[in-house]
Amino acid sequence: MIATEKGLGALSRFSSFENETVENDSAASRRAALAVVPSALAHTAERGGVSGKIAAYLETADLPSPCLVVDVDIVEQNWVELARSLPTAKIYYAVKANPANEIVSRLAGLGSSFDTASMGEIDLCLEHGVPPSRLSFGNTIKKERDIAAAFAKGVRMFAFDSMAELEKIARVAPGSRVYCRVLMECEGAEWPLSRKFGCEPQMAVDLLVAARDMGLDAYGISFHVGSQQTDLSQYDKALSHTSSLFAALGARGLDLRMVNLGGGFPSRYRTDVPTISAYGEAIMTALTRHFGHSLPDIIIEPGRGVVGDAGVIQAEVVLVSEKGGADGRRWVYLDVGKFHGLAETMDEAIKYRIETPHDGKETSPVILAGPTCDSADILYEKADYRLPVDLVAGDKVRILATGAYTTTYSAVCFNGFPPLASVCI
C-alpha cells in the first residue's frame, strides 16, 4: 500500500528521533535490556528501535491504522552484516518472513539466494529477476505438481524429510539436488519448532542413500535450531550431530557436500540478543571443530534476522477499560492483534516492545488485546506489560521490530477487518 503525505506531523506528540542507524557491533550486546516502555531517546541507537528514516516518515505520512513500515536500508544492512560474519556461507533469504516486492528486489540486487515454500514465492522471485539456480524449494511438504512446475522453471534444489516426498521429487524432478531435513532440539529458542518438519537422524541416513539410488544428487543435510534462537551453543550441538551423519553416510559410500543451518537469527525484542557477528563467530568455530578445515558448502536461511528489526507497526488504541475484580489491571485494546499479523504473540512467545506518546510518565500493569470478537485475540496477559496511565483511546502506538512474520500472518478479512497494511521506504 502506498501512503499519502500530509503537512501536519501525524505523530508530533512522540519524542523526536535522531537519524542514527541500527548498530550490530559488540557494544550492542553489552547494553542492559530495554524497559517495555523506554524513556525518551533511549532506543535511538538500539537494534530493533525506530530508525531515523522511519521516524521522519511517520511524521508526515497519512497511513491507515494499523500499518507496518519497513526501512529497506536496514534490511540491506542486516543482510550485508550477516554475509560479512559468515563469509563461507551462501545466504538463502526465507521469503516467508516478509515477501514485500521491495525487499525481494533489494536482496536480489545484493546477490542473495532465496528459500521458498511455495510456487507463489518461487514466481515472486523469478519476477524480480532471480535466476532459478538461486532458489531452493525448502518446504518438505509439496504437491507433486508444484515440484514439477518448479523443475520446469529451472529450480533444481529441493528439501525432503520422508520417503514419500523423496519419491515425488524423483518422479518429476529427476537428477535434482536434494537435502534431507533432520530433527534437532530447539532449546533456547523463543519460537521453538515442532516435529512437523524433519526426520530422525538414522532415517535421514537411509533416505539419503535411497536418494542416490533413485538417481538424485544427495547433496546434504539441513536442520533448524528454532526461530529467535538466542543460545549460540545450539549450533555447536546441531553441527556435532550433523558431522556424525556425514561420517555414517561416508561409511555407506555417500559423500555429502552441503550443510544447511536454516535460520534462527534473532530480532531485538524486549531483551538484548547476541550481535550478528557473534552468531558468525559461534557458527564458524563450530563448523571448524566438527568438520576441520575442509568445510562442506554452507547454506543459511535467515528471515527474522534480516527483516525483523527493519519494521515498525503504527497502531491505534481502540479502548482502555477496567473490569473490576482483584486483578486491577487495565485492558488496552489495539486495532492490531493476533489476526492482523501479531500471531507470534501466541503463548506470548514473541514479546514486542511498545512505544506510546506518553512514554516517560507513570505506568501501570495492563493486559493487551486485539480488536476482534475472538477470545483468543489477547496478546499479553501473563507477561508483565506496563503502559502509561495517561494512555487513552485514539493514541497512536508503535510496535517495534515487527518486520518479520506480520504481514504474512495477517488474516484476509477476519471480522471484516482489512489485512495489515504495509509500506516499504
- Catalytic positions, written as ranges: 373
Contact in structure between 423 and 407 (CB atoms under 8 Å) = no
Pairwise CA distance, residues 235 & 285, whole Å? 10
Q: What is the CA radius of gyration of the chain?
A: 22
CA trace torsion 219, 110, 189, 50 (10° rounding) = -170
Fill in the amino acid letter for 56: A
How many residues comprise the chain?
A: 425
Q: Identify the CA nearest to 176 among candidates 117, 136, 144.
A: 136
Is residue 10 within 8 A of residue 63, CB to CB? The reply is: yes
Backbone angles phi, psi at 199, to 5 degrees: -120, 170
The angle that helices 276-291 and 233-251 make with each other, rounded to 10 degrees, is 30
Number of H helices, E strands in the chain: 11, 20
For helices 163-172 and 144-152, what crossing angle results, to 10°?
40
List all residues 6 or more positions away from 120 whose beta carbon is below 8 Å from its beta carbon: none
Write the burial class of residue 28 (CB in 10 Å: 0-12 exposed, 13-18 middle, 19+ buried): buried
Asked if 275 and 24 touch (Cβ cutoff 8 Å), the reply is yes
Nearest to 408 by CA among 70, 8, 109, 155: 70
**DSSP characters for 174-205?**
TT-EEEEEB----TTEEE---TTS-B-HHHHH
Cα distance between residue 236 and residue 123, in whole Å: 35
CA of 344: how far to CAs of 139, 231, 337, 357, 385, in Å? 20, 19, 10, 25, 16
Instruction: Return the number of other C-beta atoms located less than 10 Å from residue 241's C-beta.
Output: 16
Amino acid at 251: A
Please name which of 25, 82, 81, 101 lies closest in space to residue 299, comparing C-alpha atoms.
82
